[in-house]
Structure 1
Amino acid sequence: MNKRTFLKTTSVLAAGAAFPQLISCKEKPKSDPRTNWAGNLTYSTDNLYTPKNISELQDTIKKLKKVRGLGTKHCFNKIADSTENQISSAAFNKIISLDKDKKTVTVEAGIKYGELCKYLDENGFALYNLASLPHISVAGACATATHGSGIKNGCLASSVSGIEFVNGKGEVINLNKEKDGAEFLGAVVNLGALGIVTKMTLDLQPTFKMKQIVYQNMPMLALEKNFEAIMSAGYSVSLFTDWKNKNINEVWIKSKAEDLKEIAPEFYGAKLQTKNLHPIETLDAINCTDQMGVEGPWYERMPHFKMGFTPSSGKELQSEFFIPFEHAYEGLMAIEKLNAEVSPHLFITEVRAIAADELMMSPFYKKTCVAFHFTWKQETEEVTKLLPSIEEALAPFNPRPHWGKIFTLKPAVLQGRIEKLSEFKDLMTKHDPEGKFRNEFIDKNLF
């Protein structure tokens, strides 16, 4: 299978709009093809709009028949793609207000986490969690239930307490957690299917310092009886493995500074590192957040990569699958049996924990999960053939995929695992009765 055929048969994240009369916010097509961050997907349209305000956004949506929203282009499937039009949220990138009494911040939807964190810290506040990369937009991350790690930490969308979006009818809709109940819970992880998000309010906590330590070479067997204890050893814990020799290559533990009194030389058979490490040990750690127990602000420890480091397009593919936490070790061992097939095409796998939430389309709806995140070499044909084997190995645990990454689960199987799918479809009908925001990804996977 060649690259173009692969792109036509797989799935990516929110992208959407163009109309000849809307010259003021339409970007001129570039001679080079427009691609996602990794370059594995070429968007199916050159019609890209970047409205500067809500009025422009409303006019654009009203005049278009088909449209998808586009964030920071970090999805690896076609969730954001459109054959007709895309609307970029890049111009909606400001901090609107900070409510110190309620401990909330309201931001425009296109702002990146890395642009928000320093402001919050300077004003005495912190977010509850961050993804491994800080270069993604707030709206895009929440729309796909993107997450960090931590058995008590929900996905990034779980911190949302208010949301504003322009729906398929061009209406400005405001919902909040206190008064809008189920409709709010359906609108946060929205897959770009209800409209274009313009504003979000996020719950905050007081700022804090963190320390990060890394251990190397933990036997997988240590996880059999101690999985929960290991994943609970810090505020956020990540395990990295290349599936060779039944070994966890690296254990990253991020702790609140006040909670890390001593640094043990060993951790369940793993040895404390003697230098900063990249998740892929052979790569330079210069762009990774500081380790070795060096104290720093929460936003300079919680992600794996530094805020000031802007990653270039990475020649990689990503897949991620979630299963209930109680089956974590069984799931790990089910994948380990495929080590000979997986390892040759893999850069690294990260294992994380995500707390349960109440969001309709979240993979973590009412269940704490373990995540198996695969960063693949950009070998699209080989990876596409391999994914069904991984999905089948995890099948006894009813895996759900990350909405913005590559998967091959049959739509009927996926739909059967989404408890609130019918209610979400009702919201789509309410806010997008003409199906403006439906695309190939939505039609295939939800309908």
Structure 2
Amino acid sequence: MTVTHENNWAGNLTYRATAIHRPTSLGELRTLVASTDRIRALGTRHSFHRVADTTGALVSVDGLPRQIDVDSAASTVRVSAGLRYAEIASHVDGFALANMASLPHISVAGACATATHGSGVGNGSLATAVSALEMVTATGETVTLSRGDPDFDGAVVALGALGIVTAVTLDLVPAFEVRQYVYEGLAFDEDVLAVLAGAYSVSLFTDWTGPTINQVWVKQRTTDPELAVPAKPADGPRHPVPGMPAENCTQQLGVPGPWHERMPHFRPEFTPSAGEELQAEFMVARVDAMAALRAVYEIRERICPVLQISEIRTIAADSLWLSPFYQRDAVSIHFTLAADPDAVRPVLSVIERQLAPFAARPHWAKLFTLAPEVVRSRYPRLADFRDLTRRLDPEGKFRNDFVTELLAEPAGGARS
């Protein structure tokens, strides 16, 4: 046990927990959970607000025995929940994960619990690869939920509110190679959506200052036809943020390489930045994407003073109750912002008002100012998730302020 006054990755918040525990066995974790009144799981600290915090105890599962067990017949891999994606990638020879986030440094359990994602019109969030999860519930029992179980779709993206996840089984696909290209100067018009849909994974980076997209990152499987992008190919490696060195980014210029060395934007052996930033991200239905992007462009003069860069990606719909992609194909609009909460907060409110007509859903681990009742209104299965937490955690052991506010009963007791 360690008394903590520790910060998140970005340094914009200090955890209020009385202690951080790092059990080294499942039995130790089960005893800890059963004997603790308030407890939350802590991943790689890449959340930008108090979704992971608690005034009770925090527990990290990165000290549990490390497991990476490939089932070739089932095309799955069972992994320890505290492992980072980069650690898994090099141990699934002949197989691959269908997608990865831009940072391979994040933990599996934390990424899935918050519906963290990569890009690609045919690719769901990282949570959609989960076929089973194992967790320690409030009584210290170990529960396994598998795809097809009635509670499964409510338990994968669960914000840590159901228990401490200890292991996750992920779907695998045959290994593939990728070429990564960067283009510059894409016109900000209807071609944007065509480009986003034109390759296995595409990311657009813009600073909103003009009528062009600064950079287009295309991740093309070597077996697929090459995408013709109506923009200029970059003449050398690029970093998404102008002026930043490109050596910590994954290989570009069309050099083929293994999936796990191209799908992320950043190499695992480098720290992508010192955390001197804040992040926010909002998901809109793909059919609304161009209207939403134009709406953001209209307020660029408010955004630009606190912006480092924006990234635009696509994510396929899923059936996970608290997923921002629940039942709708989405386009995400991400903002990497200055490390100045006081300057950023009012800008987020302006962005949220501008995106309100599109019922934008915020990324669970990134900054937003939307009222809990507004967020609740955008999740059709929120009431079902509330019921699930009551069954698995009737005393609210895994709740914190954020979860409690999100799951609060609406006035009059009506389901929402």
Q: Is the 8 A contact 2:26 2:64 kept in 1?
A: no
After superposition, where does 1:86-105 map in structure 2 within 5 Å?
86-92=58-64, 94-105=66-77
Q: Is the 8 A contact 1:288 1:304 kept in 2?
A: yes
Give the drift of 1:311: 4.0
Q: 2:392, 2:24 → 1: CA distance?
A: 22
1:280 corresponds to which residue? 241
1:73 corresponds to which residue? 45
Q: In the alignment, residue 375 of structure 1 is paired with which amino acid?
A: T
Given candidates 106, 115, 125, the residue that maps to 1:145 is: 115
Give the drift of 1:433: 0.7
TM-score (norm 1): 0.89
Q: Is the 8 A contact 2:24 2:63 kept in 1?
A: yes
Residues 166, 375 of structure 1: alpha-carbon distance in 2 compared, 3 angstrom cutoff: same
1:217 corresponds to which residue? 185
Q: 2:304, 2:358 → 1: CA distance?
A: 22
Give the drift of 1:328: 0.4
Task: Give the RMSD, CA atoms, in angstroms.
Answer: 1.2
| Farther-moved stretch of structure 1 (302-311 vs 141-150) | 302-311
- 1:132 and 2:99 are equivalent in the alignment: no
Q: 1:218, 1:155 → 2: CA distance?
A: 26
1:185 corresponds to which residue? 153
Give the drift of 1:379: 1.3
Q: Is the 8 A contact 1:167 1:173 kept in 2?
A: yes
- 1:54 and 2:54 are equivalent in the alignment: no
- 1:250 and 2:250 are equivalent in the alignment: no
Q: In the alignment, residue 81 of structure 2 is paired with which amino acid?
A: A
For structure 2, which runs of at least 5 residues remain unmatched after alignment? 409-416
Q: 1:389, 1:213 → 2: CA distance?
A: 34
Residues 346, 93 of structure 1: alpha-carbon distance in 2 compared, 3 angstrom cutoff: farther
2:144 corresponds to which residue? 174
Give the drift of 1:391: 0.6
Q: 1:312, 1:391 → 2: CA distance?
A: 27
- SS of equivalent to 2:90: helix
Q: 2:65, 2:335 → 1: CA distance?
A: 30
Deviations 1:68-125 (A, max 9, x none): 11000000010001112101111136234111011000001000001000111xx200
Q: In the alignment, residue 117 of structure 1 is paired with which amino acid?
A: A
Q: 2:139, 2:299 → 1: CA distance?
A: 48
Give the drift of 1:46: 4.1
Q: 1:64, 1:152 → 2: CA distance?
A: 42
For structure 1, which runs of at least 5 residues remain unmatched after alignment? 1-25
1:240 corresponds to which residue? 205
- 1:164 and 2:129 are equivalent in the alignment: no
Q: Is the 8 A contact 1:212 1:253 kept in 2?
A: yes
2:170 corresponds to which residue? 202
Give the drift of 1:352: 0.3
Q: Is the 8 A contact 2:25 2:65 kept in 1?
A: no
Q: In the alignment, residue 159 of structure 1 is paired with which amino acid?
A: A
Q: Is the 8 A contact 1:334 1:393 kept in 2?
A: yes
Q: In the alignment, residue 408 of structure 1 is paired with which amino acid?
A: T
- 1:440 and 2:405 are equivalent in the alignment: no
Q: How many residues align?
A: 408
Q: Is the 8 A contact 2:266 2:272 kept in 1?
A: no
Q: 2:291, 2:330 → 1: CA distance?
A: 13
Give the drift of 1:312: 5.5
After superposition, where does 1:32-431 map in structure 2 within 5 Å?
33-92=5-64, 94-120=66-92, 123-178=93-148, 180=149, 182-221=150-189, 224=190, 226-260=191-225, 267-268=229-230, 270-311=231-272, 313-431=274-392
Q: 2:43, 2:103 → 1: CA distance?
A: 14
Q: 1:312, 1:235 → 2: CA distance?
A: 26
Q: In the alignment, residue 72 of structure 1 is paired with which amino acid?
A: T
Q: 1:162, 1:369 → 2: CA distance?
A: 24
Deviations 1:12-53 (A, max 9, x none): xxxxxxxxxxxxxx13x36xx300001111111241101111
Q: In the alignment, residue 354 of structure 1 is paired with which amino acid?
A: I
- SS of equivalent to 2:195: helix
Give the drift of 1:309: 1.4
Q: In the alignment, residue 262 of structure 2 is paired with which amino acid?
A: R
Q: Is the 8 A contact 1:238 1:252 kept in 2?
A: yes
Q: 2:119, 2:18 → 1: CA distance?
A: 36
Q: In the alignment, residue 216 of structure 2 is paired with which amino acid?
A: V
